[in-house]
């Protein structure tokens, strides 16, 4: 057994980890020591079978928290500091971590103790959070196979271990396929149409790849598949042949060679179906939805069908608008339109229709100013201040920043890390929020009533280049607000029971409500004036430009909604009806759903599903619809502010506090539909979202 008397920065921390001292060599000793200690504590708990909340549930929270705080840091570093040694250490220990989780989740003595506690006299006086936690513990044990016989439980565990391995391999393959591709441009004519900021970024990328002489003016320029590089190239490059090359590389990521995910995904789907059948469900989707707000597959299908019918006419008009503009401009692709033309002509149409472009807006959205404006909004709505710490805090990369969240009386409420920039060589793509530690009375440090929550906010936006700060696209601003919404739900919780605090125990299709809600404020004129200032002159964003941004909100919304419907239907079909039996493949399902939903037919070689990590390596399996489901609720919640009048400061502050006290504050202590009703006073409606999206008048 490892010697735990030796200092190990993965274990020996109270407030925050000493990230800059954590080495790969610390991982295995730390994880094995924690698993060994937790196993002994778990065995003792099974023997004692306490029948009180303090004896049973509080002790289980301590056991689970110790494993989560160590393995959580390892998992976090695996996502942001990925390297072969770290990857190997993670993979070596993953099976043991999964085994312990299964061991804990399948404990029949604990399951029996839950049931005894639920039916005890003590339970009569439980708070709503305690009832929800206990009911979830019973349900989770059943979903972990506690009722299976020995043979089926053995198979269940084999499936869980293999699923964890597949998820990691799928994610790593996408990371490797993305970071390996480079399109190096050496001739000035290959950069026709590219913006100055993209030339600078591409030259900087080339220098990091070994072209030390690269400059924005003379090149060479390296274009990659991460979003800050890929998207602006597709929007601005006049070289249609190069757009085609980049697009084909993007939609075939992780679909061939050593990083081919296709067989892994087929196996993952088969394992998910088998696990669901072991638990008595007809499909993985049925099992997954039984623990979500939607409840049933038919409810999700109804939502997606409603959105499909509302969005398709607009999407067809969107495509015709692009063809008309290309034809008007004399472009040869007008009568031979392809996917690599869509972003380019969409950006030209947006410039023409609204007289705005990402490049025009970037100088007004330097990251420091956007953060100030976003934090000012949090103070206005929720009464908290977000302040960057003045003392040096250990971080995993020099770009990372740490903020303290302070309440109305100056009391410390929470902490937030921000890792804003793209690092495709080691950091997975996309944007996400994750938890370092959650609010908890049981896990409170000595002489403190409660442990305060700390969140990670991860983005992949454009880096600072030269003397310029990170100049953000408007979409990157929206993404930052989105992740801040997730973080707010974690850090502003008022629940002291760890298993129901923040986003814990919140149904998966409700976790996007706060994030979409915060995105809405990016279109509020006062908020925009505060967060948008020119990085050189300090000039605020002109009112005319603000109005054009607001008008452009519904630009191509039919196409964007149809894209989300496409993803949602594909995910649902794979996890509800699909079965690999020779009749249809995963690719066949993708093509069939594409034919039903896309305006422009997909390429023959399109294998986007091989890089669809949301559902194959993330938490959105049979749940991708959650984005739109939550968007319905968030749009309806934001409509309360619109009805009050965004210039009615007193009422906006009152509603902000009410939103904080309900949707942000109550976490998983109450069912999210009831929490929504507490805020809105009624059940949600799709009308607000359809109006906001311009899909109805």
Residue 582 pLDDT class (50, 70, 90 cuts) = low
> 483 catalytic, yes or no?
yes
pLDDT value for 691: 85
Q: Show the 3-state SS of 627-648.
A: HHHHHHHHHHHHHHHHHHCCCC
Residues 148-196 have pLDDT tens digits of 999 999 999 999 999 999 999 999 999 999 999 999 999 999 999 999 9
Number of residues that this document lists for the chain: 697
Residue 1 has pLDDT above 50, yes or no: no
Q: What are the CA-CA distances from residue 9 to residues 23, 24, 400, 415 (Å)?
A: 9, 11, 19, 19
| Two structure tokens written together for 280 | 């008595």
Superfamily per CATH, domain 19-147: Endopeptidase. Chain P; domain 1 (1.20.1050.40)
Sheet containing strand 401-406, strands side by side: 385-388, 401-406, 412-421, 454-461, 432-437
Element (H, E) at 471: none
Residue 2 has pLDDT above 60, yes or no: no
Residue 266 has pLDDT above 80, yes or no: yes
pLDDT value for 697: 62
CB-based contacts of 695: which residues, under 8 Å, 6+ apart?
310, 311, 314, 557, 558, 561
pLDDT value for 685: 86
Domain-wise residue ranges, the chain: 19-147, 181-234
pLDDT value for 693: 84
Q: Report the share of the chain in percent with pLDDT over 90.
A: 93
Residue 455 has pLDDT above 90, yes or no: yes
Q: What is the chain's percent helix, strand, coil content, to nearest 5? A: 60, 5, 30
Residue 359 pLDDT class (50, 70, 90 cuts) = confident
> Following DSSP, what letter does each residue of 397-442 receive, concatenated?
STT-EEEEEE-TTS-EEEEEEEEEE--TTTS-SS-EEEEEE--BST
* Cα–Cα dist 237/168, whole Å: 35
**∠ at Cα 475 (469, 481), nearest 5°?**
80
What mean pLDDT is predicted for residues 492-520?
A: 96
What mean pLDDT is predicted for residues 224-245?
A: 96
Count the neighbouring beta carbons within 10 Å of the beta carbon of residue 594: 18
Instruction: Please enumerate, as own/partner, the contacts of 199-204 that have beta carbons within 8 Å and a separation of 24 or more.
Output: 200/465, 200/466, 201/228, 201/229, 201/462, 201/463, 201/465, 202/229, 204/463, 204/465
Residue 449 pLDDT class (50, 70, 90 cuts) = very high
> 495 and 464 in contact (C-beta within 8 Å)?
no
pLDDT value for 591: 96
Residues 536-560 have pLDDT tens digits of 999 999 999 999 999 999 999 999 9
Residue 324 has pLDDT above 80, yes or no: yes
Residues 113-144 have pLDDT tens digits of 999 999 999 999 999 999 999 999 999 999 99
pLDDT value for 4: 46
Distance between start and end Cα atoms, the chain: 67
* Cα–Cα dist 102/146, whole Å: 9
* Cα–Cα dist 588/56, whole Å: 49
> Following DSSP, what letter does each residue of 67-99 receive, concatenated?
HHHHHHHHHHHHHHS--HHHHHHHHHHHHHHHH
Residue 450 has pLDDT above 70, yes or no: yes
Q: Specify the pTM.
A: 0.92
Residue 104 has pLDDT above 60, yes or no: yes
* Cα–Cα dist 191/219, whole Å: 9
Residue 687 pLDDT class (50, 70, 90 cuts) = confident
Residue 581 has pLDDT above 80, yes or no: no
Residues 268-294 have pLDDT tens digits of 999 999 999 999 999 999 999 999 999
- From 61, 190, 476, 483, the catalytic residue: 483
């Amino acid at each position: 057994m490892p010697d735990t008397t030796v200092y190990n920065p993965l274990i020996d921390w109270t407030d925050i980890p000493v990230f800059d001292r954590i080495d790969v060599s610390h991982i295995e000793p730390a994880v094995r020591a924690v698993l060994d200690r937790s196993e002994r504590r778990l065995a003792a708990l099974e023997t004692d079978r306490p029948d009180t909340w303090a004896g049973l549930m509080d002790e289980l929270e301590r056991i689970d928290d110790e494993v989560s705080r160590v393995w959580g840091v390892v998992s976090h570093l695996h996502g942001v500091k990925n390297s072969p040694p770290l990857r190997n250490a993670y993979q070596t220990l993953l099976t043991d971590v999964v085994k312990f989780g299964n061991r804990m989740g399948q404990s029949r003595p604990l399951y029996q103790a839950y049931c005894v506690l639920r039916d005890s006299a003590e339970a009569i006086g439980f708070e709503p959070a305690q009832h929800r936690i206990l009911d979830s513990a019973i349900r989770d044990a059943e979903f972990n196979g506690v009722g299976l016989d020995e043979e089926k439980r053995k198979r269940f565990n084999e499936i869980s271990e293999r699923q964890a391995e597949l998820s990691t391999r799928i994610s790593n393959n996408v990371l490797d396929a993305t970071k390996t591709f480079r399109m190096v441009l050496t001739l000035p004519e290959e950069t026709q149409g590219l913006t100055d900021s993209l030339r600078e970024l591409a030259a900087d990328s080339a220098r990091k790849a070994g072209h030390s002489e690269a400059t924005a003016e003379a090149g060479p320029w390296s274009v990659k598949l991460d979003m800050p590089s890929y998207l602006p190239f597709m929007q601005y490059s006049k070289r249609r042949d190069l757009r085609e090359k980049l697009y084909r590389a993007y939609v075939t990521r992780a679909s061939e060679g050593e990083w081919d995910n296709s067989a892994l995904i087929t196996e993952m789907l088969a394992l998910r179906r088998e696990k669901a059948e072991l638990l008595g469900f007809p499909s993985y989707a049925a099992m997954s939805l039984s623990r979500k707000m939607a409840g049933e597959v038919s409810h999700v299908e109804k939502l997606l069908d409603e959105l499909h019918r509302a969005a398709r006419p607009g999407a067809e008009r969107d495509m015709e608008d692009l063809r008309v503009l290309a034809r008007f401009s004399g472009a040869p692709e007008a009568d031979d339109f392809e996917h690599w033309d869509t972003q380019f002509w969409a950006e030209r149409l947006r410039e023409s229709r609204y007289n705005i472009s990402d490049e025009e807006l970037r100088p007004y959205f330097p990251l420091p100013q956007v953060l100030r404006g976003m934090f000012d909004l949090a103070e206005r709505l929720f009464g908290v201040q977000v302040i960057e710490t003045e003392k040096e805090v250990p971080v995993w990369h020099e770009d990372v920043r740490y903020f303290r969240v302070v309440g109305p009386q100056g009391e410390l409420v929470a902490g937030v890390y921000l890792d804003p920039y793209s690092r495709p060589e080691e950091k997975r793509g996309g944007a996400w929020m994750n938890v370092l530690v959650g609010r908890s009375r049981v896990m409170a440090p000595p002489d403190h009533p409660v442990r305060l929550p700390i969140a990670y906010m991860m983005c992949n936006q454009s880096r600072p280049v030269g003397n310029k700060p990170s100049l953000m696209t408007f979409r990157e601003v929206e993404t930052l607000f989105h992740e801040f919404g997730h973080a707010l739900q974690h850090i502003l919780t008022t629940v002291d029971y760890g298993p129901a605090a923040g986003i814990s125990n919140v149904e998966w299709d409700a976790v996007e409500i706060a994030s979409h809600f915060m995105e809405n404020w990016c279109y509020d004129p006062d908020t925009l004036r505060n967060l948008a200032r020119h990085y050189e002159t300090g000039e605020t964003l002109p009112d005319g430009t603000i109005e054009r941004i607001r008008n452009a909100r519904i630009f191509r919304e039919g196409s964007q909604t149809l894209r989300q419907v496409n993803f949602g239907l594909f995910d649902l079909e794979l996890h509800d009806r699909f079965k690999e039996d020779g009749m249809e493949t995963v690719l066949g399902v993708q093509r069939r759903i594409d034919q039903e939903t896309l305006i422009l037919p997909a390429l023959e070689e399109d294998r986007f599903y091989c890089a669809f990590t949301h559902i194959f390596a993330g938490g959105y399996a049979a749940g991708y619809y959650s984005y739109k489901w939550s968007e319905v609720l968030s749009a309806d919640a934001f409509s309360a502010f619109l009805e009050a009048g965004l210039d009615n400061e007193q009422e906006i502050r009152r509603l902000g506090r009410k939103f904080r006290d309900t949707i942000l504050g109550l976490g998983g202590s109450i069912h999210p539909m009831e929490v929504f009703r507490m805020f809105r006073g009624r059940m949600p409606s799709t009308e607000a979202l359809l109006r906001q999206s311009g899909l109805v008048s």
